[in-house]
Structure 1
Amino acid sequence: MPAPAWLTDRLAGVELFAGLSREQLDWLARTGTVKDLSDGEVLFVEGAPADAFFVLLDGEIVVSKLVGGREQVLARHVGDTLEHQFIGELPLLTSDEYLATALAVGPSSGARVVVYDKSAFFDMLERCPQVCRMLLPVLAGRINAMERQAGRSRMLEGLGMLAAGLAHELNNPAAAAVRATRELRGLAPRLAAAAVEWGRTAEHSELLLLERIQERLDPAEPDPRSEDVRLGPPARRGRDPLAEAEAADDVADWLRERGLGELAELCDDLAEHGVDRAALDELAAGMRPGVLITALAYLAPALRAATLAGDAAEASERVVELVRRTSSYTNLDRAPEREADLREGLEATLALMAPKLRNVRVRREYGGLPDLRAFPSELNQVWTNLIDNAVDAMGGEGELTISTRREGDHAVVEFRDSGPGIPADVLPMVFQPFFTTKDLGKGTGLGLHVSMDIVAQRHGGSMEVTSRPGDTRFVVRLPLSQLSE
């Protein structure tokens, strides 16, 4: 069947086909199928089998992708330049499915395309080698653009995760600090009045006795290096409510036995902060009876104020620790390339992802590793991708083991999850661009590809994966030698 002359002439004006002979253009016109699309009509859908290549003759095509449940516009093709004159080659060459959705836009005439099925597309590349020279640079540019966009998306996801993690972790210490300062504000006038009365009535020996007992009962200074911060009065930590009630009753009984029932309101505070019968007996033995009431009226709020100050200090230390971890993850205060402790980055990433790891048991098996020269923020993105993929594979529940070790002149970081595993026929493709096993809209298919690029290209390392049900392992190897330029 002869080619439509108008279509041959129209294809001759398409830059993709520049330099083709009339015979080649006739073949393209005979082989392709002209398709007119109305406004809003879909050309292909993300996730559908990739079966055609399209050359845009007129109108506009918008390409969009579902990312994180939101539709994201990737490109608008209007046929004015080479890169906007054709679509569909990327999935035909790199994947079995369309990577995005394309539809015609425009209230007037929509769009007109020439459709070449998969077989015709590859015939085109064979019959018209000039097309390859035009198409391949555009293909490379599109892959790079999608990688950059995926990197930005992962960065935004990471920032969102960072914000969620910080909000989750900051909630408890912030609330504790607010509670402590609010109570201190109300306690201050009472403590000041009690201190004035105590200083006015006590003798020197009585002042020294109460000071010794108060020092013994004051909460210990918190260790700012501790990561296990528990907020609350030291005397209460590890004690059950029944024990607390029994201690308060014992103090109340002691007071009643000595005719000091009017001090019953102090029982809870005294008992809570470790004042027991032995301490009370010591006070009674070294003070005049009338002064004992004043001493206890001062001791209870003084101990309470010291505990509240300790709570506020621990909460502040926790906030400082969270800021340190956040800074460690993002490396906002350091040069991009530096000597790095891999375990520091792993711990910062785990802290960041704490909300997502709520139902996952994380096992750490850290072996001895020297620092190595690296780009820590980029490696942290790799750790984030691998941990995120593992949690998704396990459905949010299971066991994740992270181990580090040295093998010769390489540092090795291994991530092992207890998920169902990756099918053997899929395993060789996991690092390929645009390949994903996640549901539509939940993955770009570039997370592992970008991670491999960071490990291999930026750090001269390698990444491999093995998998069977209940045991999937991603192993990252990084050279300990100086990074090449």
Structure 2
Amino acid sequence: MGDTSVLAGELRAHPLFHGLKDDEYGWLSAAARSRELDDGEVLFTEGTPARFFVVLLEGELLISKVVDDREEVLARHSTRPGAETRASLAHTFTGELCVLAGDAYLATATSVGHSRVALYERDSFLQMLVRTPRVSELVIPVLALRAQDMIVSAGRRSTLASLGTLAAGIAHELNNPVAAVTRAIGELDDAVAELEEAAGAWGRTGTESERAAVHAAQRDWLARPRGSGPGDALGMSRLEESLQDWAEDHGLDDGACLAELLAERGADVAWLTDLAGRLREDHLPAALRYLSESLRVRSSAVDVREAGTRVSAIVRNTKEYTNLDRAPESDVDVREGLEATLAMLRPQLAGITVVRDYATPLPRIPGYPTELNQVWTNLIDNAAGAMAGGGRLRISARGEGTCVVVEIADTGPGIDPAVLPRVFEPFFTTKDIGSGTGLGLHLTHRIVTRRHRGSITVRSCPGDTRFLVRLPGRAADEPAPDADPRAVPVAAGSGSPPR
């Protein structure tokens, strides 16, 4: 214990304790434990039980938190002259939020240079708030401000995390179509030159009826869907081998490309034999070479077209997820938002079976599409994380009157019954330090209940965890958010006024 008379003098000079009575200073100094900290010494560590309310008497404390495996500086508490925070009461004490909650510290406090602090255990801190109302008047507003700041900061981090998820999803989805376009364009350079030469030779050789027969074969090939060949790899390999042997036996120097293109669409040796029956035998090699090069070019063009269609779909899904072309509040198609979210989270859902159960018709509801997509992102991402790359994710949506009810269920290990009632509490998390802020489900709860006047509940047992979100529809006399309120008369004292 430090010298209580010296400590009492320091407490009298501290802005948190100005204007107290002598007996109150006596109690404060007797209840405190002073501690000296060297440069770099840790006062408390994130995740450890919160034991002390800390009053900074001298020096500087760095408050940091591990977020996504990296350390972020949250605040600097300082009494040093010239420090930016010297006039701020909020930077002369810390730990009150965690001590009052009876939970673990949310961050780590490290001394910068030499520092000195007064520590109050939880019971003493609670007595302080009762014995010294003036201290309560100063601490409680700071506590509320810090809690609000943490929620806002977590909201920003959640938004950034969503942007990261969105970027990763887009990059993952764009990878295949972009690779297809790159490959097709690379092949087209050589294929067009080969086609020009093959077309010239075939044009000089083939008769009008023979050219018509080859064109008919091309149209038939295009009409066949991709992937209509044998469904198994062994069957496909055997078909390609038989087609290549036939083509090379009939004068085509390299029949591998033609065989692959024909097998992909289910054309077999009988198909080639039928074409050969409409051509003169000595003209068959030129016809086969022209057919091979023309189908190769057409196949590359189809690749580019399909890749473009896929990119357009990705852009559409991204717009639906972010609602870039909509007003902040609008009539929301919940099913559309769920599908856009699933598309963005496709990489996280690898190995997980997704089951959809959407009732029709499903009423549209008034709301904020981007915020609702954040709800779906949090719930689906949590479910995927719980299942660790396997299991079944079931997403259902149904109407109940004018309301829409969305259920997101997973087959993960479940939530411990002891902590289930706390999952929506701010700062509560069962994840390892650095893996979660404890605010994802809290923010989800706020979006559903405050922004959309809905409700969210959870029930869980091993192998079956379900989050149930109920979102209210629009009242019969409530205008759409983009409607002109002057065009919707509302009788005084009846119905809901336009928002």
Q: Same fold (TM over 0.5)?
A: yes
Residue equivalent to 1:307: 299
Residue equivalent to 2:421: 428
Alignment check: 8 A CA contact 1:247 1:271 kept: yes
- Judged with a 3 Å threshold, the aligned counterparts in structure 2 of structure 1 residues 11 and 249 are, in CA distance, closer, same or farther, namely same
Q: Distance in 1 between matches of 2:102 and 2:471?
A: 30
- Judged with a 3 Å threshold, the aligned counterparts in structure 2 of structure 1 residues 174 and 18 are, in CA distance, closer, same or farther, namely same
Counterpart of 1:467 (choices 457, 460, 474) is 460
Alignment check: 8 A CA contact 2:406 2:469 kept: yes
Q: Distance in 1 between matches of 2:240 and 2:389?
A: 43
Q: Distance in 2 between matches of 1:254 and 1:76?
A: 77
Q: Distance in 2 between matches of 1:237 and 1:135?
A: 74
Deviation at 1:466, TM superposition (A): 1.2
Residue equivalent to 1:70: 70
Residue equivalent to 1:418: 411
- Judged with a 3 Å threshold, the aligned counterparts in structure 2 of structure 1 residues 89 and 254 are, in CA distance, closer, same or farther, namely closer
Instruction: Give the residue type in structure 1 aligned to 2:109.
Output: A
Q: Distance in 1 between matches of 2:256 and 2:63?
A: 72
Q: Distance in 2 between matches of 1:3 and 1:270?
A: 93
Residue equivalent to 1:298: 290
Q: Secondary structure at the match of 2:331?
A: strand
Deviation at 1:405, TM superposition (A): 1.1
Residues 1:321 and 2:328 are matched in the alignment: no
Alignment check: 8 A CA contact 1:249 1:267 kept: no
Q: Distance in 1 between matches of 2:419 and 2:259?
A: 66
Residue equivalent to 1:406: 399
Alignment check: 8 A CA contact 1:250 1:277 kept: yes
Instruction: Give the residue type in structure 2 aligned to 1:442.
Output: S
Alignment check: 8 A CA contact 1:251 1:277 kept: no
Deviation at 1:278, TM superposition (A): 4.6
User: How does 1:264-283 map onto structure 2 within 5 Å?
Assistant: 264-266=253-255, 268-269=257-258, 272-273=261-262, 276-283=268-275
Q: Distance in 2 between matches of 1:470 and 1:286?
A: 63
Residues 1:90 and 2:83 are matched in the alignment: no
User: How does 1:349-364 map onto structure 2 within 5 Å?
Assistant: 349-364=341-356
- Judged with a 3 Å threshold, the aligned counterparts in structure 2 of structure 1 residues 244 and 84 are, in CA distance, closer, same or farther, namely same
Q: Percent identity?
A: 47
Residue equivalent to 2:53: 53
Q: Which runs of 5 or more residues in structure 1 are unaligned?
A: 223-232
Residue equivalent to 1:227: none
Q: Distance in 2 between matches of 1:357 and 1:31?
A: 54
Provide the TM-score with structure 2 as the length reference.
0.86
Q: Distance in 2 between matches of 1:361 and 1:285?
A: 49
Q: Secondary structure at the match of 1:386?
A: helix
Q: Distance in 2 between matches of 1:45 and 1:316?
A: 52
Q: Distance in 1 between matches of 2:247 and 2:429?
A: 71
User: How does 1:5-404 map onto structure 2 within 5 Å?
Assistant: 5-79=5-79, 80=86, 81-106=88-113, 110-218=114-222, 234=227, 236=229, 238=231, 240-246=233-239, 248-249=241-242, 252-253=245-246, 256=249, 260=250, 262-266=251-255, 268-269=257-258, 272-273=261-262, 276-368=268-360, 369-404=362-397
Range moving further from structure 2, 206-215 or 447-456: 206-215
Deviation at 1:471, TM superposition (A): 1.5
Q: Secondary structure at the match of 1:432?
A: coil
Q: Distance in 2 between matches of 1:281 and 1:421?
A: 61
Q: Secondary structure at the match of 1:265?
A: coil
Backbone CA RMSD of aligned residues: 2.6
Instruction: Give the residue type in structure 1 aligned to 2:110.
Output: L
- Judged with a 3 Å threshold, the aligned counterparts in structure 2 of structure 1 residues 173 and 23 are, in CA distance, closer, same or farther, namely same
Alignment check: 8 A CA contact 2:55 2:118 kept: yes
Q: Distance in 1 between matches of 2:387 and 2:459?
A: 16
Alignment check: 8 A CA contact 1:104 1:111 kept: yes
Deviation at 1:264, TM superposition (A): 4.6
- Judged with a 3 Å threshold, the aligned counterparts in structure 2 of structure 1 residues 250 and 102 are, in CA distance, closer, same or farther, namely closer
- Judged with a 3 Å threshold, the aligned counterparts in structure 2 of structure 1 residues 280 and 2 are, in CA distance, closer, same or farther, namely closer
Instruction: Give CA deviations for 1:375-418 in whole Å, capped at 9, x if unaligned.
Output: 11111111121122222333343222111111233211111122
Provide the TM-score with structure 1 as the length reference.
0.89
Q: Distance in 1 between matches of 2:434 and 2:390?
A: 21
Range moving further from structure 2, 345-354 or 288-297: 288-297
Q: Secondary structure at the match of 1:63?
A: strand
Alignment check: 8 A CA contact 2:246 2:269 kept: no
Deviation at 1:241, TM superposition (A): 4.5
Residue equivalent to 1:225: none
Instruction: Give CA deviations for 1:134-165 in whole Å, capped at 9, x if unaligned.
Output: 11111111011111111122222222222322
